[in-house]
Amino acid sequence: MINNQVHRFRPVGFGLLSLVLTVAGSGFGGPAQACGPPCIPQCVTVPIPVPTVRYEQQIAVRYRTEYRTEYRPVQRTVYRNVPEVHEQEVRETVSVPTYREEVRQRTTMVPKVRMETRERRVVRTEWHEEQRQRTVVVPEIQEVERQYKVMRPEVRTEQREQTVVVPETRLEERQQLVTVARPVTELQVRPILSAARIVTSYCDPCLGALVLGCQTIPEVRMATVPVTRPALEQHVRKWQVEVPSYRTEKRLVSVQVPSWREEIRTERVPTTAYRPRTETYTVRVPVEREEIETYQVPVREIGLQTENYRVRVPTYHQEVRVRKVPVTVNRKVAEVVTEQVPVTTCVKVPYYVLVWVPCGCP
């Protein structure tokens, strides 16, 4: 729940007098600007006094709820496990290895090499010379006359008539309608906004009486003002333009005309002729004969061989042994500890507010 306490401050006579002088000296002042408090109803300009409501400022004390967290010490009993180590004898049976030597036999394969005589047939090649004959073609070169035709080029000059396009330029007069803006000053009657001071009466909400004062209001009056405006005029502008044109004319032109004529020529050409001829030549002819050849070949054989070797054979016997082993046992121990526990509480915090309170006029 929120408790409100109100402290009232009543204005003194000096403050009221300064407020009246401020309202009278202002040209644009109204009821809302003179007295200050909001929501003051507009006064009507009648001589009969109207009851008004006056507002005054007061300081109000209000409270808001805040949550605060505090830490409080609390004692608790905690049980912890405390390890304790002691030695314990353990009897165990162990297999102990021992070794003994033993003689064994094994059969191994031993490689052996022996030489063996073998025979094979070999083909021998012998060469002997023979006389043989053959017919060959022998070329012979002879010169023979023959005729052939040749196209011989010629060039002759002819006069031909040709039409040629000749460029020329002629002057042409052109004209254009141009619009020009010329400034013209004239007098115009226009409304002008100005400020005018008038006497007005209004109701003082603090005194409850009718007060006369001055007020500035906007006023519209008509005045003659010089105005410059653009006047459009049109005139014709002329100028000379060079216009390109073409004309055709006929001219005589000398032209080189190519032509061809046939011509018979004679030349001696070498001709190759072939004739047969018999000749004798010597040739080596291969003759093959067979013979038996003896050669040695190494032959590999594998033989069996028995040998003795020693081997270490492991044996095991059982043996009882005693050893000490560390054993850990946990024991519970009670302990009282103090811990900080957070506790949240609600606190009322005061704060001040400036409010407007209606009251009757004194």
DSSP state of 23: H
**pLDDT for res 36:** 42
* Number of domains the chain is built from: 1
Rounded to whole angstroms, the Cα distance separating 287 from 302 reads 46
Please write the tens of the pLDDT for every residue from 71-88.
888 888 888 888 888 888
**Predicted local confidence at residue 208, as pLDDT:** 67
By C-alpha distance, which of 206, 209, 211 is closest to 360? Answer: 206
Could you read off the pLDDT of 256-282 as tens digits, one per residue? Answer: 888 888 888 888 888 888 888 898 989
Give the whole-angstrom CA distance, residue 307 versus residue 301. Answer: 19
Mean pLDDT, range 183-206, rounded to an integer: 80
**Amino acid identity, residue 248?**
T
| Of residues 10, 272, 320, the one with CA closest to residue 141 | 272
Per DSSP bridges, beta strands 54-203 and 5-8 are antiparallel
Residue 6's nearest CA partner among 362, 348, 349, 354 is 354
Torsion sign, CA atoms 165, 168, 174, 180: positive
CA–CA dist 153, 263 (Å, integer): 10
DSSP string, 126-174: EEEEEEEEEEEEEEEEEEEEEEEEEEEEEEEEEEEEEEEEEEEEEEEEE
Q: What is the pLDDT of residue 169?
A: 87
CA distance 177 to 237: 6
Question: If you average pLDDT over every residue of the chain, what do you get?
Answer: 79
Instruction: Output the CA torsion sign for 288, 292, 297, 303.
Output: positive
User: Own/partner pairs for 19-24, CB < 8 Å, 24+ apart?
Assistant: 19/206, 20/204, 20/206, 20/207, 23/204, 23/211, 23/213, 24/211, 24/213
By CB atoms closer than 10 A (0-12, 13-18, 19+), residue 30 is middle
In the numeric block, which tokens belong to residue 137? Answer: 């073609």
Rounded distance between C-alpha atoms, residue 346 and residue 357, angstroms: 31
The per-residue DSSP string of 178-206 comes to EEEEEEEEEEEEEEEEEEEEEEEEEE-TT
Triad 107, 113, 118: Cα angle to 5°: 135
Rounded CA-CA distance 341/76 in Å is 11
- Predicted confidence at residue 49, as pLDDT, reads 52
So what's the pLDDT on residue 141? 87
Contact in structure between 287 and 128 (CB atoms under 8 Å): yes
Distance CA(42)–CA(31), nearest Å, equals 7
pLDDT computed for residue 28 by the predictor: 36
Using one digit for the tens of pLDDT, what is the confidence trace for 295-353? 999 988 888 888 899 999 888 888 888 888 888 888 888 888 888 888 888 888 888 88
Q: What is the DSSP letter of 21?
A: H
Torsions phi, psi for 48 (to 5 deg): -75, 130
Which residue has 């949240």 as its token pair? Answer: 344
Q: Which residues form the domain of 54?
A: 5-359
Place of tokens 């500890």: 337
Predicted local confidence at residue 52, as pLDDT: 65
Q: Is the pLDDT of residue 5 over 50?
A: no
First to last CA, the chain: 35
| Mean pLDDT along residues 175-197 | 84
pLDDT in tens, 13-70: 333 333 333 333 333 333 333 344 443 444 444 445 555 667 788 888 888 888 888 8
CB-based contacts of 17, cutoff 8 Å, min separation 6: none
Predicted structure pTM score: 0.22
